[in-house]
Amino acid sequence: MGSPSRYARSKGWRSPLIEWLGHDAWLRPYNTVIAGLNSPEQALSSKVMVYHGMGLIVAFDKGGVDEAAALVGKLCGVVDGFKVGVPFLLANGAASAGALREKCPSALWVADLKLADIGYVMGLTASIVAPFFDAVIAHGFVGYEGGLDELKRLLDEKDRKLIVVASMSHPGAAKTYDKVLGEVLEAIEAAKPWGVVAPATRPSIIRLVRERLGNTVKILAPGVGAQGARPGEALCAGADYEIVGRAITGSENPVEAARRIIEEQRKTLSSCRGAGQP
């Protein structure tokens, strides 16, 4: 098995930055980089740009269990987590995620169900996959009352995280989701999820989400690679994790592909810090 992931280290490892910021820095990503601050007090009160550190999640949407498990074993310790989609779970069964997780239990495991129903039904569905995942994704447009509120309560009871979609990475979402972003963010604020999905393909949406929600949530940004977003652009806009699927899983050398993406993230993030962006 590979070395512990950055996600795992974030739960137990205390960096000098965390020691400097104090205990409530754990409310933010562990690898947050603060720009232009000189003291803990200034860090806690300042509204200057907070650059969130690099994070990479690999998406599995198709393939067999044995193939995916072998790939997870190779990527463990290189990437931060894995997102498993509905096509994979329908083809292989919900319990198949358990076989994948055994190869890298230290990583962040996300069930990408994109739930969109009443709270009762979403809760039933989430209960099926909860034993195998750390977090479950649901759509934000379903609203809070009778929807996200019930799902959040159930996941809290099971010690699982809720991630809510604020918008999606395909072009059509700009004409639907983005037009009601304010209302969706109201529901997200009420639900108080662990994480939010916002598109790497439209960094301006990530900036709006981060500005509205502050550092109370993790932002996961899909759309890097096959959908056109460059590694690191979403991180510069305020995301915590970038999600990459086909550019890694479809590569002849997935580990090398992941390392190249991480290096691109590093270069892009360094560049935007130096330029004072976003």
Phi/psi of residue 268, nearest 5 degrees:
-65, -45
Rounded alpha-carbon distances, angstroms, from residue 273 to 3, 24, 156, 238: 28, 24, 36, 11
What digits encode the pLDDT tens for the residues 5-22?
A: 454 444 443 322 223 233
- For residue 171, pLDDT beyond 50: yes
At residue 161's C-alpha, the angle toward residues 151 and 104, to 5°, is 135
| CA dist., res. 24 & res. 37, Å (int) | 16
Query: Top-level CATH class of 53-274?
Result: alpha beta
Instruction: Report how far residue 35's alpha carbon sits from residue 106's, in angstroms, rounded to the nearest whole number.
Output: 30
Of 35-44, 45-54, 203-212, 252-261, which gets the smallest average pLDDT?
A: 35-44
201 within 8 A of 168, measured Cβ to Cβ: no
pLDDT band at 226; cut points 50, 70, 90: confident
**Catalytic hit among 11, 74, 83, 114:** 114
- Once rounded to an integer, what is the mean pLDDT over residues 177-192? 97
Residue 114 is among the residues annotated as catalytic for this protein:
yes
Domain assignments of the chain as residue spans, ordered by start = 53-274
The average pLDDT across 24-53 equals 37
Lowest-pLDDT range of 42-46, 206-210, 227-231, 246-250: 42-46
**Mean pLDDT rounded to a whole number for the chain:** 84
